[in-house]
Amino acid sequence: MQQSRLQPQSLGLSPRPDAVFELAGHEQTQALGHALGLSLKVGDFLGLVGGLGAGKTTLVQGLVGALDEKAEATSPSYALVNLYELEPPVLHMDLYRLEGVDDLESTGYWDYVDAGDRIMCVEWLDRIPQAWPGAGLLIELSVATEGRRASVWASPGYAGLVEQLQERFAAASL
Ligand SMILES: Nc1ncnc2c1ncn2[C@@H]1O[C@H](COP(=O)(O)OP(=O)(O)OP(=O)(O)O)[C@@H](O)[C@H]1O
Ligand SMILES: [Mg+2]
């Protein structure tokens, strides 16, 4: 699996992650997504990086499922943008097939960012780092000996959110 070449420092984040979660299996990736769904607020941004099959969509499935257990997130690899009209609404996007920053305009990406009326989840942020809106969470999923590892970086305003995430994930793992 190829590793992300996105340097968190290039987004104004610290070199080391603010939190690391060990995800032994699919269910734990979903559990971290569930904790994210309960912790993120409308207008919050979540950038996801990691190689093919790292678990980015699985994480968003958990997030969307936390807001409505009947909602099923599917991969936006082909649709590019999936919208879930939940409370709060969620945008799930995949930059994998976009060529560059000009394509962001044509998908209406900046209109969604400016509106700030959804949780935004963006897979393959490393393809177009300019899509980073200046604040948010960055999660890198990587293959670990057992399952996956999620490394989380938070911009300054998101530190409290990381604490909530740790508490909720720990509670779910009991
Ligand atoms: N913690 C985990 N341990 C083992 N397998 C996992 C874990 N989390 C997710 N998976 C599995 O990894 C596979 C790929 O997951 P997923 O589609 O979410 O990856 P992705 O990063 O979105 O891939 P893509 O790059 O194609 O968008 C799925 O079969 C999923 O069940
Ligand atoms: Mg995916």
In a domain, 7, yes or no: no
pTM of the model: 0.96
Q: pLDDT tens digits for 115-139?
A: 999 999 999 999 999 999 999 999 9
Nearest CA to ligand 1 atom 1: 25
Question: In the prediction, which pLDDT does 159 show?
Answer: 92
Does ligand 1 have an atom closer than 6 angstroms to the CB of 58?
Answer: yes
In a domain, 57, yes or no: yes
Q: Which domain covers residue 95, as residue numbers? A: 19-173
How many domains in the chain? 1
Question: In the prediction, which pLDDT does 2 show?
Answer: 46
Q: Which residues surround ligand 2, an ion (CB under 5 A)?
A: 56-57, 75
Q: pLDDT tens digits for 2-41?
A: 445 799 999 999 999 999 999 999 999 999 999 999 999 9
Note whether 49 and 76 are within 8 A (CB).
Answer: no
Please say if the pLDDT value at position 1 is more than 60.
no
Q: pLDDT tens digits for 44-78?
A: 999 999 999 999 999 999 999 999 999 999 998 87
Does ligand 1 have an atom closer than 6 angstroms to the CB of 155?
Answer: no
Q: Where are the alpha helices (H) located in the chain, listed in sequence order?
A: 26-39, 56-67, 101-106, 109-115, 159-173
**Cα-to-centroid distance, 8 and ligand 1 (Å):** 22
Question: Looking at residues 105-121, what average pLDDT do you find?
Answer: 96
CATH number, domain at 84? 3.40.50.300
Ligand 1 pocket test target in 3, 23, 58 with most atoms within 8 Å of CB: 58
Whole-number Å distance between alpha carbons of 22 and 88: 27
In a domain, 2, yes or no: no
In a domain, 52, yes or no: yes
Question: In the prediction, which pLDDT does 4 show?
Answer: 54
In a domain, 9, yes or no: no
Ligand nearest to the CA of 145: 1
| Residue 123 CA, closest ligand 1 atom number | 27
In a domain, 85, yes or no: yes
- If you search the block for the tokens 């938070």, which residue do you land on? 154
| Residue 61 CA, closest ligand 1 atom number | 18
Question: In the prediction, which pLDDT does 78 show?
Answer: 76
**Cα-to-centroid distance, 54 and ligand 2 (Å):** 8
Question: Looking at residues 150-155, what average pLDDT do you find?
Answer: 98
Cis peptide before 88 (omega within 30 of 0): yes
Whole-number Å distance between alpha carbons of 102 and 16: 31
In a domain, 14, yes or no: no
DSSP symbols for 120-173: EEEETGGG-GGG--SSSEEEEEEE-SSSEEEEEEE-GGGHHHHHHHHHHHHHHH
In a domain, 3, yes or no: no
| Residue 30 CA, closest ligand 1 atom number | 8
Taking alpha carbons only, the member of 29, 81, 37 closest to residue 56 is 29
The residue type at 166: Q
